[in-house]
Each structure stands twice: as structure tokens, then as C-alpha cells.
Amino acid sequence: MIDANHLFIEENNLSLITNPKSNAPELVQFITFNLLIMKAIFYSTKAIEKDLMLHANHNNHDLIFTTRTLNTETTVYAKDTEAVVVFTNDDVTAPVIHKLAALGIKYIATRSVGIDHIDRLTAEKCGIKIANIPAYSPQAIAEHTVAIALALSRHLVQASYQCSHFNFSLNKLTGFNFYGKTVGLIGLGHISKAAIPIFKGLGCKILGYDILPQQSLHDINEVDLDTLYKVSDIISLHIPLNEQTKYIINRASIEKMKRGVMILNTARGGLIKTSDALEALKSGKIGYFGIDVYENEKGLFFEDHETDQVTDPLLSELMKMPNVLVTPHQAFLTNEALEEIAVETIKTLDGWDK
């Protein structure tokens, strides 16, 4: 039986490929282009991404798409290709990279700015080049961050739920003004720079911290991290995940913050030790908690688990709290951002061929 949910999509020829997990044939559609430069397979592909990638490609490269995630079992799909294009939920650890290298893969590109999901050291040892998206629509991430903040502050999710059940009571829906509040931005890259005018427009005072001073920013006050923790009403994370930043938000750093602080994370889940955040939410130290990323999201986010047996007790407990808002790593998901990702990804393939 052909599994129609996982299609390899090229163009013109139809063929069958065996699913290495079930030995069941899957539909494979092959595209034949003229003057093809490089053959690349895209893992974890959504339908809208496929169309945008094909449009950006201009028939230059031989592109294969699959909705399946990259792992040790699906590396076989990369046979006879030169490049593998992944997303943040794909497994690009040492065992997978070794299998890709054995298949002759020369390049791995990720459709994201962050590369913390890729074992770069192993890739380098295997002679595989790595590339990421240098930047794409920082406004998409910034706007989603502010949307989460406003939804939390005005209890919009709870209000919508109540109204859908014809409960129009105002009990427990009292929020707060952003006007006059202090927002602390940790990391002052493209996304924070896009968030600054939005928060400014709400009348907020902006504090910022970055390991590299940003002298070109005139609308904020740069402070040390402890000062930012101490005086901010809202703290928003916009930094990469690495050995230095992992669990930057933990019990010790939370203790330095105002009681009732709002914490926002649209960067990487591993920046926050979730168990410590949950403890602080229960005590009231954290008043509002909005995340688009989660430290244990791999194998969980980007898929529908409503009817299967996949569970996460920590996340489940977190989401039961009325002052918590979780979104499924969707901050990047705008038409404009996806178009930019497609263009930048094809540029990477173009550059590798030269």
C-alpha cells in the first residue's frame, strides 16, 4: 500500500521506493530538469515550502522533497544526491552524519539560522560542508514574540475560550498596560532590532544585553545581564543555543528577576530550564510565560500527537497553567519568511556548486 502522506516529489516520472521502516512502497515522483547543477534532498518539507523552493530554484538544481524527518533510517533517501537540506527537528547527530558521508553526501544545509541541531565537528571530520540561513524576516519572529506577550498580558486565550462557551464574565481577565513597562532583550541581533520599534510603539522602555556591544542602537539602554534581570518587567530571549547559553534562564537567574516577571522565548528551547521555570510559575515569581520553543521539542513539535501515545509530562503540566502560552515553533511561519528561506537556501546550493 502506498503511503500518500510521505511523498518524494520531483516531476514527470512516477516510481516506487521502499519505506525502510515498513518495507511498504511509497510514491516517488521524479523531476527531470535541463542543465541541472546539483541534486539535493529536502527533509521535513511542508507543502508550501516545496512550492516556494521550486519557484526559487528556477530549474537550476535537481530537488527531491520528503515530509519525513532525517534520521538513521531515512538517510537511505539521500542516496545519489550531493546535498541534504534539513530543518531544526531533523536528527543531524554523528550517527546520521556518518551514514550520509558513506552515501557520498558533500553538503548539509539547514533552513534555519540556528545550527545547534547539527554535529558540526563530526561533519567537519567527514568532509561535509555546513551552511545555515544567515537571516530571514526577523520581523516574523519579532511580531510573534510581541503577539505572545500581548495575548498573555490580556488573557486572550482564556477570554476566547470562555466566549466560545458563552461565558462572557470578566472574572480573572484583568491584564496590564505595556505602556511604561521595561522590556529586557537578551541578544541584540536582527530579531531584537526588529522587536525594538514594536515595543517602543507600545510605550515601553527598552533595555538590552549582548556579549558584543551594539553601539549603533540608540533606542535602548545597554546594561549588564544582572541589571536587566533586576529591573525588567518583560524579558525576551533572542540568542543562539550553545554551551554558554544553555539554561541561561534557571533557578539562579530567575531569583534575580522581579516578582511577576514575564518571560518570552522564541529562540531555542534549551535556553530555559523548564523545570525551574515551572517551579517559579507555581511560586508566582514568574507571572507570565510565553514560549514558541521547548527544550524537549524534538520528536514532539511539528506533528499532530492528539490521538497517539506521545506525551510529555513536564510540558503537559506547564500548559495547564493559565498564565502560560505555548505555540508550536511557528514564529517563523509567515509567507514572507518562507519565501526568504527558500531564496536563501537556493543561494546556498548555487554557491556550493561554484
- By annotation, the residues acting in catalysis are 268, 297, 329
**Number of alpha carbons in the 13 Å side-chain half-sphere of residue 84:** 33
Q: Where are the beta strands (DSSP E) in the chain?
A: 8-9, 13-18, 25-30, 39-42, 62-65, 83-86, 107-110, 129-131, 182-186, 205-209, 221-222, 234-237, 261-265, 286-291, 324-326
Give the 3-state secondary structure of residue 96.
helix
Burial class of 261 by CB neighbour count within 10 A (0 to 12, 13 to 18, 19+): buried
**Cell (9 digits) for 92:** 543531524
